[in-house]
């Protein structure tokens, strides 16, 4: 076949229609897709060894046919232990391989199957037969050719696979393309940028990542430290940042609303507060007011740790808009958070006679008329605010809380509800600077980097079921002091699949354990007015212990609450644990976050250790990203971002900043990329319908 970049993958030798369907599941439809599919890691493979020549205590690679396979139960004392054992021969000798507690392998490694095994060998119980424990294996298909010298010492790429596709087959397909296809990938990055940054060409980089030289170390390859990997990472980030930079320039060219309030309503709000703004709050508020006064739309992200006071800053921005005659909206990701914001704002704005309404799925019909008639100047709501049929009379400012739930598309939808209103985005999840540059390159951003004075750090401790009595001791001592507490369960009701204690049962047990106090219960299935009433009672001190699901993770500020008990802490994400911890320690009293764990995985152990080690939300966020990876930290579907194939935001932070700088410079010189038509098309294809990044005039 003529192997062109656009050729369907099914026509490549060794693929065919059946394997093409498997490759399609991995997003590989053409020869070019296969070339751009990057290895997820690399592994060292020694040369193929005859079984008769095996050396003990060394990693060896052997190839042979399975003679027998069986499951053994070696010990009555340990009935949970099972061993899957195979006997292998290559004609020169025999080898035993065993896997512990992996009985499912009996359906894969069957007699007469040909396999390659890689593992460290040792002397078996039968002295003449060597043994491998838990070796890696690779099944050899009927049409694979194996000869003695076909497996040489090498560093091999390891690809993401799907069931039915082997590493050997994937490597063979890509090797065939590299060896037989006359392709020439076109560099979209301007040559002067490649030269300035000393980056290799795209073609050299593609060949190198699939066929790594033995002169490159395995560590460098697996950490993507080679210049070839950096070249590919830079290209992804460069295209991403070009889109964000072009979008930001488009926004800056738009005509917005200039809101220059006299600050009278702001001063009234400040006079009602029982505290003074911190210097960080004042600085960020000044940045917001400066943006609002400009004739272009504001697009600003405000980030800060839990309890730093973002909401009051947002409210002061909203009353500035109202003073200038415009409506302001605050959009929250959940109904209960919208309700919490509504209640907190209501207590303040009622004092200065600003009309307010709540718009959620539950209250939509009642609120719509107020909004369209301008009977409500501040509107608090959920994503129902951006749905069809919701029209504002004169929208000037949109505030979005917990931005990671709203992507670029949702922000654009909200902007269309007015004439280019100002947009202010808040997050209670601190974001490492490099991640903010990646996800929110189209925004200006501010950081509230100090907490209100006089707040001691929250004491975080980990407990297991055997010592949970210590938790109750701390709880009872704090309640005796007149303090309040949260007890958080991961589920509302009993689950048949996962044996968790329910919040409902927990509240009943706690009421029996401490009959002299009042225990409240709150969860997402309650009616709005019931939740409002319980939260009011807790804030007023009428409820001593609030048993809850995670509906209280954001939006609650009770300074007298000093104990946060999280049951089955191993089931919560790190960001969620930190958010829950932020519900206490909001006053001057010593506070506790007590994590009750019922056993955990390796990842859960890492999360819990981070919680004990630090209260710093930015450090928590960085550790969270290390554990979960860049893609999971902000899923592309959540954030509205295109998928990045090879980027790790922490590892590649220096490349990210280079890409942003180069992208900003290029867009400043050539906003429409008229001199780079292929690069322009790549950026448009990359972003698709997510963003209009260039003028369509």
Tokens representing residue 109 in the block: 């490694």
Residue 585 contacts residue 450 (beta carbons within 8 Å): no
Averaged pLDDT, 134-155: 70
Give the Cα separation of 550 and 498 in Å (integer). 17
The residue that leads in pLDDT, 117 or 493, is 117
What is the pLDDT averaged over residues 455-473?
90
If you average pLDDT over residues 330-357, what whole number do you get? 84
Poorest-pLDDT segment among 20-29, 309-318, 372-381, 672-681: 372-381
Identify the H or E element spanning 425: strand 422-427
Q: Per-residue confidence at 129, pLDDT binned at 50, 70, 90? A: confident
Q: Which residues are registered as beta bridge partners of 358?
A: 380
Q: Is the pLDDT of residue 371 over 80?
A: no
> Do residues 339 and 408 lie in contact, with contact meaning Cβ atoms separated by under 8 Å?
no
The pLDDT assigned to 5 comes to 84
Nearest alpha-carbon partner for 676 in 186, 185, 184, 189: 189
pTM: 0.67
Rounded-to-integer distance, Cα 18 and Cα 407, Å: 37
At residue 615, does pLDDT exceed 60?
yes
d(CA 620, CA 306): 12
The distance from CA 477 to its chain's CA centroid, rounded to whole angstroms, is 38
- Residue 633: what pLDDT? 46
Percent of the residues in the chain that have a pLDDT greater than 90, as a whole number: 31
Predicted local confidence at residue 325, as pLDDT: 92
Residue with tokens 């099944």: 139
pLDDT on residue 188: 94
Higher-scoring residue by pLDDT: 105, 653: 105
Residue 465 above 70 pLDDT?
A: yes
Cβ atoms of 555 and 601 within 8 Å: the answer is no
At 150 the pLDDT is 52
Bridge pairing between strands 561-567 and 592-597: parallel
Place of tokens 């010298």: 149
User: Does residue 550 surpass a pLDDT of 90?
Assistant: no
Between CA 242 and CA 245, with CA 244 as vertex, the angle to 5 degrees is 65
Per-residue pLDDT reduced to its tens digit, 499-527:
345 678 888 889 999 999 999 988 777 77
Dist CA 306 CA 512 (whole Å): 33
Range with lowest mean pLDDT among 63-67, 542-546, 548-552 = 548-552
Contact 64, 115 (CB under 8 A): yes
Q: Tell me what pLDDT residue 149 has.
A: 46
- Pairing type for strands 83-89 and 545-548 reads unpaired
Residue 491 in this model has a pLDDT that exceeds 70: no
Describe the strand order of the beta sheet including 378-381 as a list of residue ranges.
Answer: 356-359, 378-381, 327-331, 395-401, 422-427, 299-304, 444-448
Q: How far is it, in rounded angstroms, from Cα 504 to Cα 457?
A: 31
DSSP letters for 19-72: HHHHHHHTT--BHHHHHH---SEEEEEPPB--GGG--TTSEEEEEEEEEEEEEE
Q: Which of 65-69, 141-145, 348-352, 385-389 has the highest average model confidence (pLDDT)?
A: 65-69
Q: Over the stretch 194-208, which tens digit does the pLDDT of each residue have?
A: 999 999 999 999 998
Q: Beta partners for 137?
A: 117
Give the Cβ contact number of residue 164 at 10 Å.
Answer: 11
Q: Which of the two residues, 74 and 302, has the higher pLDDT score?
A: 302
How many Å from the N-terminal Cα to the C-terminal Cα in the chain?
A: 43
Lowest model confidence (mean pLDDT) among 76-90, 93-107, 454-468, 623-637? 623-637
648 band by pLDDT with thresholds 50, 70 and 90 = low
With beta carbons less than 8 A apart as the criterion, state whether 367 and 379 touch: yes
- Please state the rounded mean pLDDT for residues 41-46: 82
Sign of CA dihedral 126, 132, 133, 134: negative
pLDDT of residue 636: 42
Long-range (24+ apart) CB contacts under 8 A made by 432-435 are: 432/618, 432/621, 432/622, 432/625, 432/649, 432/650, 434/649, 434/650, 434/653, 434/656, 434/657, 435/621, 435/625, 435/630, 435/633, 435/634, 435/649
**Phi and psi for 657 in degrees, rounded to 5?**
-70, -35
**CB hemisphere CA count around 347 (13 angstroms):** 10
Q: What is the pLDDT of residue 244?
A: 85
| Residues 6 or more apart whose Cβ sits within 8 Å of residue 579 | 306, 428, 429, 553, 554
641 confidence band (pLDDT: 50, 70, 90): low
pLDDT at 496 over 80: no
Q: Tally DSSP H helices, then E strands, for the chain.
A: 24, 21
Residue-averaged pLDDT of the chain? 83
Q: How far is CA 646 from CA 139, 219, 241, 378, 447, in A?
A: 28, 16, 15, 43, 28
pLDDT at 555 over 90: no
Element (H, E) at 529: helix 528-539
- HSE on the CB side for 190, CA within 13 Å? 18
Answer with the residue of higher pLDDT: 363 or 520: 520
What share of the chain has pLDDT > 70, as a percent?
85
**How does DSSP classify residue 382?**
S
Indicate if the pLDDT at residue 183 is higher than 90: no
Considering Cα of 24, then 30, then 35, then 36, what sign does the dihedral take?
negative
Say if residues 331 and 341 touch (Cβ distance below 8 Å).
no
How far apart, in whole angstroms, are the C-alpha atoms of residue 563 and residue 238? 46
Residue range 644-651: mean pLDDT, rounded: 69
Query: What pLDDT, on the 0 to 100 scale, is given for residue 126?
Result: 59
| Whole-number pLDDT of residue 497 | 38
Residues 6+ apart with CB under 8 A from 644: 236, 237, 240, 630, 631, 636
Average pLDDT over residues 655-667: 91
Domains in the chain, start-ordered, CATH in brackets?
A: 47-152 (2.40.50.140), 264-448 (3.40.50.300), 459-614 (3.40.50.300)
Residue-level pLDDT at 628: 66
In the chain, how long is the greatest CA-to-CA distance?
Answer: 92
Q: Which of 74-88, 302-316, 384-398, 424-438 has the highest mean pLDDT?
A: 302-316
Distances (CA, A) of 250 to 137, 148, 245, 641, 696: 54, 62, 9, 18, 11
How many CA atoms does the CB half-sphere of 588 hold within 13 Å?
A: 3
Q: Report the distance separating Cα 1 and Cα 558, nearest Å.
A: 71
Residues 252-287 have pLDDT tens digits of 777 888 999 899 999 999 998 888 999 999 999 999
């Amino acid at each position: 076949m003529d192997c062109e970049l656009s050729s369907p993958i099914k026509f490549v030798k060794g693929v065919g229609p059946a394997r093409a369907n498997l490759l399609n599941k991995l997003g590989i439809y053409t020869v070019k897709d296969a070339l751009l599919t990057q290895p997820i890691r690399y592994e060292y493979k020694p040369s193929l060894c005859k079984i008769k020549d095996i050396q003990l205590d060394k990693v060896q690679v052997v190839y042979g046919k399975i003679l027998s396979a069986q499951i053994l139960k070696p010990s009555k004392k340990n009935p949970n232990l099972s061993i899957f054992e195979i006997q292998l021969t290559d004609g020169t000798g025999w080898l035993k391989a065993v896997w512990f507690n992996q009985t499912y392998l009996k359906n894969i490694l069957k007699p007469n199957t040909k396999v390659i095994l890689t593992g460290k060998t040792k002397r078996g119980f039968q002295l003449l037969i060597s043994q491998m424990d838990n070796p890696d294996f690779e099944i050899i298909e009927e049409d694979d050719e194996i000869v003695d010298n076909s497996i040489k010492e090498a560093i091999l790429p390891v690809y993401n696979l799907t069931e039915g596709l082997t590493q050997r087959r994937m490597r063979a397909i890509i090797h065939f393309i590299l060896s037989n296809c006359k392709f020439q990938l076109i560099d979209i990055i301007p040559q002067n940028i490649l030269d300035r940054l000393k980056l290799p060409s795209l073609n050299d980089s593609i060949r190198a990542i699939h066929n790594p030289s033995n002169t490159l170390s395995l560590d460098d390859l697996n950490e993507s430290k080679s210049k070839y990997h950096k070249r590919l990472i830079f290209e992804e980030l460069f295209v991403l940042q070009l889109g964000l930079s072009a979008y930001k320039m488009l926004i800056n060219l738009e005509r917005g609303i200039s809101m220059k309030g006299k600050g009278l309503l702001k001063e009234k709000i400040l006079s009602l507060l029982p505290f003074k703004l911190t210097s960080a709050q004042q600085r960020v508020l000044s940045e917001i007011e400066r943006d609002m006064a400009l004739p272009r739309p504001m697009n600003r992200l405000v980030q800060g740790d839990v309890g730093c006071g973002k909401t009051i800053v947002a409210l002061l921005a909203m009353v500035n808009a109202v003073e200038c005659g415009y409506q302001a909206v605050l959009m929250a990701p959940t109904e209960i958070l919208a309700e919490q914001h509504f209640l907190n704002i209501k207590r303040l704005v009622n004092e200065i006679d600003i009309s307010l309404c709540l718009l959620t799925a539950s209250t939509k019909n009642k609120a719509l008329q107020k909004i369209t008639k301008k009977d409500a100047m501040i509107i608090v709501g959920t994503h129902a605010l951006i749905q069809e049929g919701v029209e504002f009379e004169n929208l000037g400012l949109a505030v979005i809380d917990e931005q990671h739930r709203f992507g670029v598309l949702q922000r654009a939808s909200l902007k269309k509800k007015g004439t280019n209103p100002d947009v202010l985005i808040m997050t209670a999840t601190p974001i490492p600077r490099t991640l903010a540059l990646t996800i929110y390159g189209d925004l200006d951003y501010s950081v509230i980097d100090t907490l209100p004075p006089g707040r001691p750090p929250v004491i975080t401790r980990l407990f297991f079921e055997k010592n949970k009595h210590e938790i109750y001791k701390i709880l009872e001592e704090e309640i005796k002091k007149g303090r309040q507490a949260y007890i958080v369960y991961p589920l509302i009701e009993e689950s048949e699949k996962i044996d968790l204690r329910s919040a409902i049962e927990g509240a009943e047990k706690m009421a029996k354990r401490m009959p002299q106090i009042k225990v409240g219960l709150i969860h997402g299935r309650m009616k709005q007015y019931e939740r409002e009433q319980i939260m009011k009672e807790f804030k007023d001190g009428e409820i001593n212990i609030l048993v809850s699901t995670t509906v209280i993770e954001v939006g609650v500020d009770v300074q007298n609450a000093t104990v946060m008990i999280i049951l089955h802490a191993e089931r919560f994400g790190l960001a969620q644990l930190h958010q829950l911890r932020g519900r206490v320690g909001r006053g001057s009293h010593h506070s506790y976050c007590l994590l009750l764990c019922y056993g955990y995985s390796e990842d859960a152990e890492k999360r819990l250790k981070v919680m004990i080690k630090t209260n710093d939300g930015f450090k928590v966020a960085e550790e969270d990203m290390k554990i979960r990876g860049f893609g999971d930290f902000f899923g592309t579907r959540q954030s509205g971002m295109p998928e990045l194939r090879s980027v790790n935001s922490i590892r590649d932070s220096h490349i990210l900043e280079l890409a942003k700088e180069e992208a900003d410079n290029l867009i400043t010189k050539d906003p429409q990329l008229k001199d780079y038509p292929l690069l322009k098309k790549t950026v448009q294809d990359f972003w698709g319908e997510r963003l209009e990044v260039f003028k369509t005039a």
